[in-house]
């Protein structure tokens, strides 16, 4: 009843070592720099090296996992007699989930005796990672694949993603803000506060002046929305800005007695669009 594999992709921003400890298999999205044809996975370049290249002026582009790759990754588990629960990167940001879903549909024909369930997490980075962590906990409690999938779907609308960026140029490049807004914002020291909505899209919610104010705004959102501020599970992701992680962690502890469970790097899939200095806070809330 409990013999199933949780499968995911690298946009969860959980290290391969930690995914291994959780018993989670994964496929990797890839990225390239500038006009090079050389494709990297998260495993092939450290986050620090990635952000240093961006600071040097290099531009990164990302590619989704294709259907064939998912088929090749799912099939060994199915042929070994395991069911597969695939939790995928938000369809609001990438085609990766749809590739996984199509692969699952194809493989159900070849393996009619196996269950293959694909769930769109509508999540990204370590918010996606937090959902994975909770799914693993559910499985370890003895839940079946159907019960775990249902739990994930029920949790998705409560998975809060709140983040800020340090350099508006990257949002400008991605078309999320205009060149004029980016220019004025940089001149005035404006920092955006963004979140991921119920459809899995990144939405600009507010603007504050100064980096510290943007970090405080993330903590404010935690206080407003967290389902269990003192005991809830909290993850933080960052674009190579350790001091800001420490500051936000201390504010959360001082204000709410909250403890950060896991700190990760924002990987290239998200970091290519947000740049160095992105800082993101993830938790379970009353709503997103």
Q: What is the pLDDT of residue 264?
A: 97
Q: What is the pLDDT of residue 37?
A: 87
Q: What is the pLDDT of residue 176?
A: 63
Cα–Cα distance measured from residue 131 to residue 124, given in angstroms and rounded to the nearest whole number: 10
Per-residue confidence in pLDDT tens, the chain, 288 aa: 568 999 999 999 999 999 999 999 999 999 999 989 899 988 889 999 999 999 999 999 999 999 999 999 999 999 999 999 999 999 999 999 999 999 999 999 999 999 999 999 999 999 999 999 999 999 999 999 999 999 999 999 999 999 999 887 777 776 666 666 666 667 678 898 999 999 999 888 888 999 999 999 999 999 999 999 999 999 999 999 999 999 999 999 999 999 999 999 999 988 998 899 999 999 999 999
- End-to-end Cα separation, the chain, in angstroms: 32
The pair of three-digit structure tokens given for residue 246, joined into one six-digit string? 């420490």
Q: What is the pLDDT of residue 106?
A: 97
The pair of three-digit structure tokens given for residue 28, joined into one six-digit string? 């990797």
Report DSSP letters for the chain, one per residue.
Answer: ---EEEEEEGGG---HHHHHHHTEEEE--EEEETT----B-GGGS-HHHHHHHHHTT--EEEEPPPHHHHHHHHHHHHHTT-EEEEEE--TTT-SHHHHHHHHHHHHHHH-TTS-EEEEE----HHHHHHHHHHHHHHHHTT--HHHHHHHHHHHGGGEEEEEE-S-THHHHHTTSS-HHHHHHHHHHTEEEEEEE-TTS-EEEEEEEESHHHHHHHHHHHHHHHBSSTTTS-EEEEESS-HHHHHHHHHHHHHHH---EEEEEE--HHHHHHH-TT-EEEEEEBS--
Are 156 and 131 within 8 A, CB to CB?
Answer: yes
Q: How far is CA 281 from the centre of its chain?
A: 11
Q: Which domains does the chain have, with CATH numbers?
A: 4-156 (3.40.50.10170), 158-284 (3.30.1180.10)
Cα–Cα distance measured from residue 192 to residue 283, given in angstroms and rounded to the nearest whole number: 19
Angle CA(222)–CA(223)–CA(228) in degrees, nearest 5? 85
Q: What is the pLDDT of residue 16?
A: 94
Q: What is the pLDDT of residue 173?
A: 72
Q: What is the pLDDT of residue 43?
A: 83
Q: What is the pLDDT of residue 185?
A: 67
List the one residue out of 166, 184, 196, 135 whose CA is nearest residue 275: 166
């Amino acid at each position: 009843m409990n013999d199933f594999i949780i499968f995911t992709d690298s946009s969860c921003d959980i290290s391969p070592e930690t995914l291994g400890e959780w018993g989670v298999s994964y496929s990797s999205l890839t990225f390239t720099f500038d006009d090079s044809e050389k494709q990297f996975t998260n495993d092939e370049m450290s986050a620090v090296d990635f952000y240093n290249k961006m600071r040097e002026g290099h531009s990164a582009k990302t590619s989704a996992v294709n259907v064939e790759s998912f088929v090749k990754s799912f099939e060994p588990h199915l042929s070994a007699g395991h069911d597969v629960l695939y939790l995928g990167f938000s369809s609001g940001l990438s085609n990766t989930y749809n590739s996984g879903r199509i692969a699952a549909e194809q493989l159900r024909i070849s393996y009619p005796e196996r269950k293959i369930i694909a769930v769109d997490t509508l999540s990204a980075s370590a918010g996606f990672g937090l959902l994975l962590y909770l799914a693993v906990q559910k499985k370890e409690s003895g839940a079946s694949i159907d019960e775990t999938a249902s739990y994930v779907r029920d949790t998705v609308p409560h998975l809060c993603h709140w983040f800020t960026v340090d350099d508006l140029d990257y949002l400008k490049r991605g078309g999320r803000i205009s060149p004029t807004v980016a220019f004025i914002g940089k001149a005035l020291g404006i920092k955006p506060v963004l979140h991921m909505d119920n459809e899995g899209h990144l939405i600009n919610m507010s603007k504050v002046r100064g980096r510290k104010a943007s970090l405080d705004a993330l903590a404010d959102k935690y206080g407003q929305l967290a389902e269990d501020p003192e005991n809830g599970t909290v993850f933080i992701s960052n674009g190579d800005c350790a001091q800001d992680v420490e500051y936000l962690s201390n504010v959360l502890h001082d204000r709410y007695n909250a403890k950060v469970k896991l700190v990760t790097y924002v990987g290239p899939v998200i970091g290519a669009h947000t740049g160095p200095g992105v800082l993101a806070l993830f938790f379970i809330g009353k709503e997103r």
